[in-house]
Amino acid sequence: MSHTIQPRPSTYSLATHMSAGGPAIRRNSRACLNCNCSPGLLSRQGRMSSTYYKRMSLTRSGSNPSSPGKSTRASSVIDQVVNPCAEEDKEINTSRRLEALRLEMQKEDIEIYIVPSEDAHQSEYTAPADQRRSFISGFSGSAGVAVITRDPMCMNEQPEGLSVLSTDGRYFTQATQELDFNWSLLREGVPEDPTWQQWTAFNAVQMSQDSGREIHIGIDPKLASYVSIESLDQIVKQKLEGFKDTKLKPAVSLKPVSRNLVDAIWGRFEVAVPRHLEPIRILEKSLTGLDVSEKLKLVKEKLEKVGATSIVVSALDEIAWFLNIRGSDIEYNPVFFAYLIIDGDSIKVYVDAHERFAAFSQYLESNNIKLFKYSQIFEDVKDLSSRSKLVALPAKTTSWEIVNHITEKNFKLVDSPLDELKSTKTREEIEGARLAQVKDSTAIVKFLSWLENELVENGELIDEVEADEKLSEFRRQEKNFVGLSFETISATGANAAVVHYSPKHSPAMINPAKIYLCDTGSQFLEGTTDTTRTVHFTSPSKEEMNAYTLVLKGHVALARTRFPEGTTGLMIDSFARQHLWQHGLDYPHSTGHGVGAFLNVHEGPMGIGYRIAGHAKFPLQLGNLLSNEPGFYKPGEFGIRIESMMYVKKAEDIPAGTKQFYEFETITLVPFCRKLINNKLLTFDEKFWINEYHKQVWETISPLLPRRSAELNWLKRETACL
C-alpha cells in the first residue's frame, strides 16, 4: 500500500485559509481495504517495514510457526501480514471525532476548544479515563495540547475548522507518525513554529475579524491550571492591543466549559473507559523517614514564610508523599485520586471509595486525617476562603476550577512546599533507592545477558515486546517488586531514534546487527528506578561507536560534576552536551529529572535541562534524586541514550572555609556497552571513572548471580578494565 503526502502548509497559512471561510487543507490520501483505519496510516515509517521485516525473518530462517523453541509471538506475526488491519495495528481516523466535537462546540457557543493532556490534578501520566487528548488526536505521547477550531462562518451541516497538536522535542517523530491528515504539528521550542497559545490567539483574533463576532475559547476548567489560563489570557490581550480602532477591535474571551466535550462524544466511538479506584497501602516510617506529624510541621513552617494559614493540594504525588499512603489508580504511578486541604493542624482528604481506607482507620485517626467525598472539595474551598486569612495555592497544579471557587479571592500562588520537601530525600529514602537499584540492576543484567545469548548464540527471533516481557519476568524474581514505573521503551534500530517509542502495537524483531535501546524502570516498596542502556550485540559501525562514546563522555562529565550550593540544573546541563556540541550534535530533551521515592518516576521541582522556566529557578539540594540521561538520535537509523540515577550529597574533601560544595553519587549498577565504546575518544580521567564504576557494579551485582553462569560471564566481560 502506498500513498502520496503533500507538504503541509504552515499553521499561519492554514489560519489565513480558514479565515476566508474555505475548507481545511488536507493531505492527499486514499482508503485501505474498506476498513476504518485512517487512510494510508499503515504505511507510516516503521509500521509496514517492521511487519515485512518480521515476515522476511521468518522466511529466511525457514522456521515453522509450530516448531519447538520458537517464540509464539514471532510466529503470530504471520497473521499480521495476512491481515495488516488486525486490531492491534489499527490507527485512529479522527475525522468523525472532530466533526462530533465541533457540533458539541456549537452547542456551547465556542469557536476554539483546548484539550490538554493532564487530568484534574495536572498529572503527567493519566488514567485511561483521562486520556482525552489522545482520544481526539490519535497522539499517544504523555505531553501535548490539542487545539480545535470551529469556523463561525461555515454554513455547512457539518462544521469545519482546524486542529493542531503541540508537543515537545521528545515526541516530534512520534507525533509525525501518529497524527493523521486532520492535524498539524506545532513543535515546542522550534523558532519557526508558534506556541499553541500564540496559535490560539492568532486564530481567535482572525476569526473575530472575519466574522464580526466575539470568539469564545473554551476549556474544561478542571483540566487547566490557573496559571496556564492566565498566560493564555495575557497573550490574547496582547494580540488585541494592536488594534487601536475600538469599532473594529476584535472580541475574544476565555470561557470555562464545565461539561467536558470530549467526554460527551467518547462513547460514540469507543467503549467508555471506567475509572478504577484501587486498594491503598500505608508506608512504614522505616521507608519514609518522616511520619505525617513531622511532615505537617515542615509544611506549616513553609506556609508561615508566605503568610498563609492553609493550602489546597491537587498534585497526587504530593498528597501520597504527605500522607505516607500509596495507591495504584494510575498505571505505573503509586498514587490515588484525591485532593488535600491542610488548614492549621486539620488534614482533610477528598477521595471516593472510602472503603479502601477502612482497614487503616486507626492510622487515619492517630494522624488527625479526615476523609470527605472527592467532589466536596469545591464547596469546602469556598468555605475555606471565607474564613482563612490567606490560602496558598500551588501554582503549577491548581486548576482554574479551584480558583473559581475561592469567593474572597484571598489566595496566593506559591511554589508547592510539599513538592520541594518531597524532592529532598531522607536518609531512609536514599537507602531505599540504593536497594531498589541493586534489585533492578540485577534484573537488567540478567536480561541483557539473556537477550544477547538468545539473539546471537541461539539465533532466536525475539521482538521488542517479548524482550520487555522477559525483563519483567526477571524483575518479578526480586523481593518487594510492585510493578513498572513507566512503559518500557524497548527499541531496535531506527525505533531507538524515537525518544519515547512504544513497541506495544506493532513490535519489530530485534536485529542483533543494529543498536538496541532499553529505557526501563521499576517500582519497589523501597524506591523507584529509571535506567537506560544502549547496546549492540555484534559489530557496530564506527559512526555508532563514536556517537555512543560522545554520549558516554557527557554522562561521565555530569556524574563527576562538583558544584557550589545554589547551583541550578540549567547551569550544569551543558556539561552533558559539551562533547556532542563539539561535533555539531545535540539531543532534544532535558538531561535529568527528579525521581520519586516509590512514587512518580518524574518529579519536580528541580531538574537538569535547558528550559529557563523549568530548570533555572530551583537549585539542586542535598538529597535530590535525579536521572543523568544524555543521548543522540539519528532519525531512521539509530538512537542512543545512557541513563543512570544519582543523588546529591556533600563533597566532603573540599577545603574548609570555602563555599559548601555538592557532588553526585551514581547508584544505578548496570555496565556500559563495551562494544560501543571507542577507547581512543576517552581521556585518562574518563577511563578511570568508568573503570571504578564498573568495579563497583561487579562487586555489588556478581555475588547476586549464580556461580559459573552465563549472566556472570557476561557481567565479567562488560565490567573488565578499559
Q: Is residue 606 situated within a structural domain?
A: yes
Instruction: State which residues form the domain around 48.
Output: 42-89
HSE on the CB side for 173, CA within 13 Å? Answer: 21
- Residues 379, 247: one domain? no
Does residue 16 have a pLDDT over 80?
no
Q: Is the peptide bond before 84 cis (omega within 30 degrees of 0)?
A: no
**Which of 76-90, 361-375, 676-690 is predicted with the least confidence, judged by mean pLDDT?**
76-90
Q: Is residue 365 situated within a structural domain?
A: yes
In sequence order, what DSSP letters do the residues of 44-86 get, joined into one string?
STTHHHHHHHHHHHHHHHT--TT-TTS-HHHHTHHHHHH-TT-
- Residues 668, 551: one domain? yes
Q: Are 148 and 136 in contact (CB under 8 A)?
A: yes
pLDDT band at residue 11 using 50, 70 and 90 as cut-offs: very low
Does residue 228 have a pLDDT over 80?
yes
- Residues 69, 121: one domain? no
d(CA 125, CA 716): 38
Of 40, 47, 29, 126, nearest to 498 by C-alpha is 47
Q: Is residue 436 situated within a structural domain?
A: yes
pLDDT of residue 91: 53
What phi and psi, each to the nearest 5 degrees, are found at residue 604? -105, -165
pLDDT of residue 386: 85
- Residue 472 burial by CB count (10 A; 0-12/13-18/19+): exposed, middle or buried? middle
Of 184, 132, 170, 129, nearest to 6 by C-alpha is 184
Q: Is residue 453 situated within a structural domain?
A: yes
Q: Is residue 421 situated within a structural domain?
A: no
pLDDT of residue 434: 98
Sequence-distant (6+) residues with CB within 8 A of 627 are 530, 592, 593, 595, 643, 644, 645, 646
Does residue 32 have a pLDDT over 50?
no
d(CA 687, CA 467): 31
Q: Is residue 4 situated within a structural domain?
A: no
What phi and psi, each to the nearest 5 degrees, are found at residue 528? -110, 140
Q: Determine what percent of the chain is predicted with pLDDT higher than 90.
A: 79
pLDDT tens-digit map of 315-350: 999 999 999 999 999 999 999 999 999 999 999 999
SS (H, E, C) 511-578: CCCCEEEEEECEEECCEECCEEEEEECCCCCHHHHHHHHHHHHHHHHHHCCEEECCCEHHHHHHHHHH
Mean pLDDT value of segment 478-497:
97
Does residue 519 have a pLDDT over 70?
yes
Distances (CA, A) of 323 to 125, 290, 342, 395: 21, 10, 11, 21
Q: Are 340 and 417 in contact (CB under 8 A)?
A: no
Q: Are 447 and 470 in contact (CB under 8 A)?
A: yes
pLDDT band at residue 64 using 50, 70 and 90 as cut-offs: very low
d(CA 193, CA 123): 26
pLDDT band at residue 51 using 50, 70 and 90 as cut-offs: very low
- Residues 452, 514: one domain? yes
- Helix/strand/coil percentages in the chain, nearest 5: 40, 20, 40
Mean pLDDT value of segment 288-299:
98
Residue that finishes a domain, picked among 89, 105, 125: 89
Top-confidence residue, 502 or 718: 718
d(CA 393, CA 303): 11
pLDDT of residue 648: 98
Taking the CB of residue 218, how many other CB atoms lie within 10 A of it?
A: 23
Helix residue spans in 388-426 (DSSP H): 400-404, 417-423
Q: Are 280 and 245 in contact (CB under 8 A)?
A: no
- Residues 100, 58: one domain? no
Of 345, 348, 339, 366, nearest to 296 by C-alpha is 345
3-state secondary structure of 269: helix
Q: Are 570 and 385 in contact (CB under 8 A)?
A: no
Does residue 66 have a pLDDT over 50?
no
Does residue 68 have a pLDDT over 70?
no
Residue that finishes a domain, picked among 54, 89, 124: 89
pLDDT of residue 587: 96
pLDDT of residue 20: 31
pLDDT of residue 405: 93
- Residues 181, 62: one domain? no
Residue whose grid cell is 538496541? 516
pLDDT tens-digit map of 261-284: 999 999 999 988 889 999 999 999
- Residues 145, 249: one domain? yes
DSSP 616: S
β-strand 661-666 against 644-650: which pairing, if any?
antiparallel
Number of domains in the chain: 4
**Which of 85-89, 558-562, 577-581 is predicted with the least confidence, judged by mean pLDDT?**
85-89
- Residues 602, 639: one domain? yes
What phi and psi, each to the nearest 5 degrees, are found at residue 645? -100, 145
Does residue 21 have a pLDDT over 50?
no
Q: Angle at CA 521, nearest 5°, toward 57 and 87?
A: 45
pLDDT band at residue 173 using 50, 70 and 90 as cut-offs: confident
3-state secondary structure of 370: strand
Give the chain's mean pLDDT: 87
- Residues 119, 73: one domain? no
- C-alpha cell at position 580: 556532542
pLDDT band at residue 653 using 50, 70 and 90 as cut-offs: confident
Q: Are 594 and 624 in contact (CB under 8 A)?
A: yes
- Residues 548, 460: one domain? yes
pLDDT of residue 33: 33
- Residues 262, 149: one domain? yes
Q: Are 343 and 377 in contact (CB under 8 A)?
A: no
The dihedral of CA 367, 279, 298, 401: what is its sign?
negative
pLDDT of residue 49: 37
Residue that finishes a domain, picked among 382, 415, 448: 415
- Residues 212, 287: one domain? no
Sequence-distant (6+) residues with CB within 8 A of 267 are none
pLDDT band at residue 67 using 50, 70 and 90 as cut-offs: very low
Q: Is residue 275 situated within a structural domain?
A: no
Mean pLDDT value of segment 73-77:
31
Of 673, 642, 671, nearest to 532 by C-alpha is 642
Specify the amino acid at residue 314. Answer: S
Q: Is residue 31 situated within a structural domain?
A: no
Sheet strand arrangement including 369-372: 369-372, 346-350, 339-343, 310-313, 391-394, 411-414
Mean pLDDT value of segment 651-667:
88
Residue 544 belongs to domain with CATH number: 3.90.230.10
SS (H, E, C) 296-321: HHHHHHHHHHCCCCEEEECCHHHHHH
Q: Tell me the longest C-alpha to C-alpha distance in the chain.
A: 86
Does residue 492 have a pLDDT over 70?
yes
pLDDT of residue 381: 95
pLDDT band at residue 144 using 50, 70 and 90 as cut-offs: very high
Residue 327 belongs to domain with CATH number: 3.40.350.10
Of 180, 174, 184, nearest to 45 by C-alpha is 174
Q: Determine what percent of the chain is predicted with pLDDT higher than 70.
A: 87
